[in-house]
Amino acid sequence: MHVLDMLKERGFVAQVTFEEDLYKALEHEPMTFYLGIDPTADSLHVGHFMPIIMASHLQKAGHRPIILCGGGTAMIGDPSGKSDLRRMMTKETIAGNVAAIQNQLSRFMEFGDGKAMMVNNADWLLCLNYIDFLREVGSLFSVNRMLTAECYKRRLECGLTFLEFNYMLMQSYDFLQLFKNHGCRLQIGGDDQWSNMLSGADLIRRKEREDAFALTCKLIMTHDGKKMGKTEKGALWLDPARTTPYEFYQYWRNVADQDVERFLGLLTFLPMDEVRRLGALRDQQINEAKRVLAFEITKMIHGQEEAEKAQDAAQALFAGGGASESIPTCEVNAAMLAEDNRLTSLLATCGLCASRGEARKMVQAGAVLVGETKATDIEMRIEPEMIGADGLLLRKGKKNYCRLILK
């Protein structure tokens, strides 16, 4: 099966330029393509995951990936999907984020001679002569056309800085540099990058008189159009220090029935026949498909051993045992409890609730258990003697757990 047909079958493709030409080019010979990731944090999150999986499919089909870490473009900040200027980061912070992300990416891609390669656009963007850049690249961009791009239109209503206005030119210049230095003809990414990617492909066609293409994947959304990847603690990170393997596993174990088949196709490498079989399960049997989904994704991110631990922990809690070491923990000491030992504060501290306000609402709704006892008093306090040698299990709802440990 042609790789484009396979990506469509699995549900990836959102938009593509010159589809017939790209189809033939991918069929004719191996193509070098790139995926850009701006290092805005020291970890990738689930929003990065789908384009990475798409890149992996393309690599398995014989094409060569370039992973571009945006050490240069991160100095500006992508305005796409943002209602305000991104927080400015120092060069040192960006460099640290790049190193952390490069380490994570090695789990998903094969790097080495003739395989995937990694580049940092800081190597060419930070030494640009601005006047030369404006003359060479800026003269080919129409401001009128740029202002119609989705990445700018939304921001014009609340304020767009000139700093951010340069972002499209910089990303387009990345594509041009990769074309010149590595023969890269295809950029892939999330559909929110469509305007920037079109501009890069157009820049190559205008300056080099050569074919270049853009291919976007759909953003990870639920069946009812909500953005995926948020937890009580914020983003769903791929770094286990930010989102534990158990929390990661539970997130996917608890997706809606209607989303299971689509996520199996997008976020695992299971054969599509197996995806369709699992997606056809109904009622209680759909839990088998959810377990497979959660296990396969967790295994890809955290490895077989951590996936098995997370699965065992989930099963232990479901069975009422709750003794697994893989259950998320939160350490407290006597001094911390002496300062504030309110249950609502501890629920927020351990991440089961986003705030004390939410914790109060959960207690009032009867959705919080302390050990095996339902909490009913919003002023309930956790004394040190209540935390045994194995800790004290806190639960919000049916599926969110944390073990309180006394140091």
Q: Which residues are catalytic?
A: 40, 45, 48, 82, 86, 171, 192, 227, 230-231
From CA 309, how far away is CA 68, in angstroms rounded?
33
Whole-angstrom Cα distance, residue 174 to residue 180?
10
Q: What are the contacts of 267-274 at 24+ separation with CB within 8 A?
A: 267/49, 267/50, 267/53, 267/293, 267/296, 267/297, 268/292, 268/293, 268/296, 268/297, 268/300, 269/56, 269/296, 270/296, 272/9, 272/10
* DSSP letter for each residue of 355-366: SHHHHHHHHHTT
Other beta carbons less than 10 A from residue 50's beta carbon: 22
Amino acid residing at 86: R
Could you tell me where the DSSP H helices lie in 218-372?
245-253, 260-267, 272-279, 286-302, 304-318, 334-339, 343-349, 356-364
Q: What's the rounded Cα separation, in Å, for the pair 323 and 73?
A: 46
- Asked if 159 contacts 190 with a C-beta cutoff of 8 angstroms, the reply is no
- Taking a C-beta distance cutoff of 8 angstroms, is the pair 185, 175 a contact? no
Rounded-to-integer distance, Cα 375 and Cα 133, Å: 63
Amino acid at 108: F
What CA–CA distance (Å, rounded) separates 7 from 256? 23
Give the integer Cα–Cα distance in Å for 233 and 207.
46
H or E element, residue 68:
strand 64-69
Residue type, 145: R
Q: For residue 168, with 0-12 CB atoms within 10 Å meaning exposed, 13-18 middle and 19 or more buried, which class applies?
A: buried
Q: Which residue has the tokens 């929390």?
A: 247
Torsions phi, psi of 239, nearest 5? -80, 125
C-alpha to C-alpha distance for 92 and 309, rounded to whole angstroms: 36
DSSP letter, residue 331: E
